[in-house]
Amino acid sequence: MAKFSKVQVISAMASTGMVPVFYNQDVEIAKSVVKACYEGGVRAFEFTNRGDFAQEVFAELVKFAAKECPEMILGVGSVVDPATAALYIQLGANFVVGPLFNPEVAKICNRRLIPYTPGCGSVSEIGFAQEAGCDICKVFPAGNVGGPSFVKNVKAPMPWSMIMVTGAVEPTEENLSAWVKAGVTCVGMGSNLFPKDVIAAKDWKAITEKCRFALDIIARAR
């Protein structure tokens, strides 16, 4: 069962402006990453459904966060079908993200008042997703469909649109400022926030610092 309401989830994504995107099959590494992000100011975190038994890791993360990171809103990513969405919602997912838009996933999420952020690569896809009740749409892969200019041009005729971008997002002043100024609601950031060598070295402090740095850039760009 979701711990946070739909309004709380959307508010956290919009207010912080960044949702880390991460997967690791090692439960302890995943816990450490979530904690490091939390200490860096992150309040919405997307764990991606990418490996065997990923749901088991997620279930442990939800229990861990409830005790160690009480304000952290955990969601699931890389969801393409309603059965997977239902599984993770039952395990405590507070939001569902996908690389594509599936109306059947929207139905599952709407029934439980869980935010669904589908991947969209065109203005029409964003419109169809909004009709299905998706408050925040994910432009993906953001760098390939037009970058910040695409977001800016979508917002011109559709200013009510709330857009999250994933892909081609980097924790640098130039990159994040460009996305923010284009009008994104939030950015999703994965590998650039969690370099393999940092994870391998278990340098959790470095991740905390990267999160603080990125969130500070976003705050200033706004």
Per-domain residue ranges for the chain?
A: 6-121+186-217
CA distance 135 to 155: 14
Look at residue 1 in the predicted model and tell me its pLDDT.
87
Pick the CATH number of 6-121+186-217 from 3.40.50.300, 3.20.20.70, 3.40.50.11540, 3.30.2290.10: 3.20.20.70
Q: Do β-strands 136-139 and 162-166 pair in parallel, antiparallel, or remain unpaired? A: parallel
Nearest to 213 by CA among 15, 61, 17, 5: 17
Look at residue 59 in the predicted model and tell me its pLDDT.
98
Kindly list the averaged pLDDT for each block of 10 residues, start to end, along the chain of length 222: 96 98 98 98 98 97 98 98 98 98 98 98 98 98 95 97 96 97 97 96 98 98 96
Type of residue numbered 50: R
What is the SS3 assignment for 139?
strand
CB 160 within 8 A of CB 131: no
Phi then psi for residue 138, to 5 deg, are -95, 120
